[in-house]
Amino acid sequence: MITLGHYLLVSGVLFSIGFAGVMLRRNLIIILMSLELMLNAANLSLVAFSRFRVDSNGLLNYNAQVFVFFIITVAAAEVAVGLAILVALFRARQTTDVKDISALKF
């Protein structure tokens, strides 16, 4: 049988993949995609917990799903702003590589 732990483990694996993408890749677009993967991994565990804890009358508890709705909205806004910053950066420097953007590096 599929338990809560299975969904949480899939969520954890997906989060780790996104984290590895942020650590390993140098292309800013790929880093933004990895951030999306991490946000979605969090969404998956929220929905799994929402399904796991049903109300006393046997109906779903929708609080976590509303939270997921908020996360999706914020993530969409974040992607739009991030990509706009990326385009502005590309106009100024003609690069999307994090290795070439080191003016603030200590």
Residues numbered 67-96 forming contacts with other proteins, rule: CB under 8 A: 68-70, 72-81, 83-88, 90-91, 96
Give min distance, CB of 103 to other proteins, in A: 18
Q: How far is the CB of 106 from other proteins (least distance, A)?
A: 17
28-47 residues near other proteins, rule: CB under 8 A: 29-30, 32-34, 36-37, 40, 43-44, 47
- The residue written with tokens 């933004």 in the block is 32
- The token duo for 9 is 């483990």
Size of the site for other proteins (CB under 8 A): 71
Q: Does 13 bind other proteins (CB under 8 A)?
A: yes
Looking at 1, 102, 103, 105, which residue binds other proteins (CB under 8 A)? 1
Q: SS in 3 state form for 9-50?
A: HHHHHHHHHHHHHHHHCCEHHHHHHHHHHHHHHHHHHHHHHH
Angle between helices 28-52 and 4-24 (to 10 degrees): 170
In single-letter form, the type of residue at position 88 comes to A
Of 62 and 104, the one with the shorter C-beta distance to other proteins is: 62
Neighbours of 14 (CB within 10 A): 18
- Asked if 98 touches other proteins (CB under 8 A), the answer is no
